[in-house]
Amino acid sequence: MNLELTDAIAVLERTPGAFRALLGGLSDGWTKSNEGPDTFSAFDNVAHLIHAERTDWIPRARIILAQGANRRFQPFDRLAHVLESQNRTLAKLLDEFARLRADNLATLRGWNLSESQLALEGEHPELGNVTLRQLLAAWVAHDLGHIAQTARVMAKQYREAVGPWRAHLPVLDRA
Amino acid sequence: MNLELTDAIAVLERTPGAFRALLGGLSDGWTKSNEGPDTFSAFDNVAHLIHAERTDWIPRARIILAQGANRRFQPFDRLAHVLESQNRTLAKLLDEFARLRADNLATLRGWNLSESQLALEGEHPELGNVTLRQLLAAWVAHDLGHIAQTARVMAKQYREAVGPWRAHLPVLDRA
């Protein structure tokens, strides 16, 4: 699919509700377990998405739209959420993610982006030149990747419990 | 995690809402696209889960609990949903899945299963002897696997659109 703003927003606006429906009220056994050292639990996935709402997508879009002399993005810290989310509850994180996402989508809609604006470029510190259109597509795909990761890490908590069914459930052995 | 009934039911009861939050009202571009020939779209994932509600988990649990002379399960048809879901809308499928799941969880709760019942065995046509406890764990992991698959197939619709970000989004190239 080519990125159309309405398609992208349709997914972006559903993500907080999908996380809430999947995780809201679940025990820590489901939400705090991970796939081993230095991997994300379901809780970590939500915390990481919150950090991205604050520091990644919309801030980078602003840099692109400003078209200033320096269009290089700040590096994104993929582990900043660990400290930020200490001593917080999943319920609070789900609320915060929903609020930040709604605010960011209001900003995005308010820009009423034109095709020529979507083609403007910024500089990713690792990936080089990227367009605003690519950034918005990456925002959507990043959401969906973290939904997939969250479901996978939860499934893996039953890797042994399923017994022989492990052979039929590839999600249990996916990296 | 060992399977505890309350943990298993907590996930099973959330799955229909998670699919509804993620997919409800989305365009066919998101819900009918797949990963290539003989792969599942988001729509197919929901249709497949409906077929499993009807023919797989609870019917097999009944065979185990009955402990009759023949404890061999009927093979599960992984493609039966294709014909069954023709000419139906995703909105109808989401409703049907929620209704069937609620009914099946009412059945499961009503059994008030004991530890000794959870240890009873049936015969899977391919996997051999399996316990009721393993069947319930597989039901949960199967749900989560299809949530992950649904998010992945949607993400892949933007595999080209993300441009250089593809290198940072492993979900876009996962089989």
Task: Return the ∠ at Cα A136 (arms to A131 and A139), rounded to 5°.
Answer: 125
At residue A65, does pLDDT exceed 90? yes
Burial B58-68 (b: 16+ CB within 10 A, else e): bebbebbeeee
Most B CBs within 10 Å: which of A5, A11, A139, A146, as the mutation test of the B interface? A11
Torsion angles phi and psi, residue A124, rounded to 5? -80, 135
Across the interface, whether the CB atoms of A1 and B157 are under 8 A apart is answered yes
> What's this model's pTM, rounded to 2 decimal places?
0.97
Nearest to A22 among B18, B128, B168 (CB): B18
Q: What is the pLDDT of residue B114?
A: 97
Across the interface, whether the CB atoms of A25 and B11 are under 8 A apart is answered no
Secondary structure letter of residue B31 according to DSSP: H
* ipTM, interface predicted TM-score of the complex: 0.96
pLDDT digits (tens, 9 = 90+) for B96-118: 999 999 999 999 999 999 999 99
DSSP assignment of B110-156 = HH---HHHHT-EEEETTTEEEEHHHHHHHHHHHHHHHHHHHHHHHHH
Nearest C-alpha of chain B: how many angstroms from A141?
5
Nearest to A158 among B1, B127, B149 (CB): B1
At residue B86, does pLDDT exceed 90? no
Nearest CA in chain A to B4: A161
**Rg, chain B, Cα only:** 18
Structure tokens at A80: 């900043």
Single out the residue of B139, B155, B162, B146 nearest to residue B58, CA to CA.
B139
pLDDT digits (tens, 9 = 90+) for A87-106: 899 999 999 999 999 999 99
pLDDT digits (tens, 9 = 90+) for B24-61: 999 999 999 999 999 999 999 999 999 999 999 999 99
Structure tokens at A161: 């419990």
Secondary structure letter of residue A36 according to DSSP: S
At residue A3, does pLDDT exceed 90? no
Structure-derived torsion over alpha carbons of residues A143, A149, A150, A156, reported in degrees to the nearest 10: 170
- Please report residues of A whose CB lies closer than 8 A to that of B135: 165
- Please report residues of A whose CB lies closer than 8 A to that of B30: 7, 10-11
Cβ–Cβ under 8 Å, residues A81 and A93:
no
Most B CBs within 10 Å: which of A158, A160, A165, as the mutation test of the B interface? A158
Average pLDDT along chain B: 96
